[in-house]
């Protein structure tokens, strides 16, 4: 999908929210995400990507600070640090969800390409700011922590939450 939007593997960074796979491929526990968060923050600070594409529930929830599920958060572009964040499904969901999920992921990657072309916001976005202009209409900012989570795709295994940083315009 990267190549479809004109980004080579050499022009992006892929990292995980948790730095080791939880036993039995289970979902990461909150204390595991919290223990690894300083490393993720340092990676994002060093690379300073214009666009962050979160792959799946855990990466999206961790970076947006919400418990809302990926199915409700994807399809929008959010202000994030000095750039943008575009949530999409984890690739394992595409393997199980078929063509509809793949089409939604492709649309999300097009959103990421548009955000790359838009450049960085003039001023850093405020925490909890609503999705950026040009994104599909949304009710507002990501839900606050404690909001009931939307169900993810059933049956999809959970790999450590993946974050894809796109630092330059293709």
- 131 pLDDT band, cuts 50/70/90, is low
Window from 21-25, 101-105, 133-137 with minimum mean pLDDT: 133-137
Domains, in order of start, for the chain = 3-122+130-135+156-166 (3.40.470.10)
Quickly tell me which residue has 């990267």 as its tokens: 2
pLDDT at position 120, please?
Answer: 67
pLDDT at position 151, please?
Answer: 31
Query: Please, are residues 6 and 170 in contact by the beta-carbon 8 Å criterion?
Result: yes
DSSP state of 57: H
54-101 per-position pLDDT tens digit: 999 989 999 999 999 999 999 999 999 989 999 999 988 989 988 999
The mean pLDDT of 92-117, rounded to a whole number, is 92
28-43 per-position pLDDT tens digit: 899 999 999 999 999 9
Give whole-number Cα distances, 154 to 3, 97, 163, in Å: 28, 9, 21
The mean pLDDT of 161-169, rounded to a whole number, is 57
Average pLDDT over all residues of the chain: 77
pLDDT at position 10, please?
Answer: 83
Please give the Cα distance from 105 to 107 (Å, whole number): 5
Quickly tell me which residue has 């990292």 as its tokens: 15
Query: Please, are residues 53 and 86 in contact by the beta-carbon 8 Å criterion?
Result: yes
């Amino acid at each position: 999908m990267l190549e479809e939007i004109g980004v080579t593997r050499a022009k992006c960074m892929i990292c995980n929210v948790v730095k080791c796979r939880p036993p039995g491929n289970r979902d990461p526990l909150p204390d595991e995400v919290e223990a690894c968060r300083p490393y993720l923050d340092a990676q994002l600070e060093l690379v300073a990507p214009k666009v962050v594409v979160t792959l799946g529930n855990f990466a999206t929830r961790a970076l947006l600070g919400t418990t809302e599920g990926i199915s409700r958060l994807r399809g929008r572009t959010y202000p994030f640090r000095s750039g943008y964040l575009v949530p999409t499904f984890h690739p394992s969901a595409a393997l199980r969800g078929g063509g509809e999920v793949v089409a939604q992921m492709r649309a999300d990657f097009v959103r990421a390409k548009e955000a790359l072309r838009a450049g960085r916001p003039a001023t850093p976005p405020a925490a909890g700011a609503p999705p950026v202009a040009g994104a599909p209409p949304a009710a507002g900012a990501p839900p606050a922590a404690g909001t009931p989570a939307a169900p993810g795709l059933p049956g999809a295994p959970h790999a450590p939450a993946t974050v894809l940083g796109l630092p330059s315009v293709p």
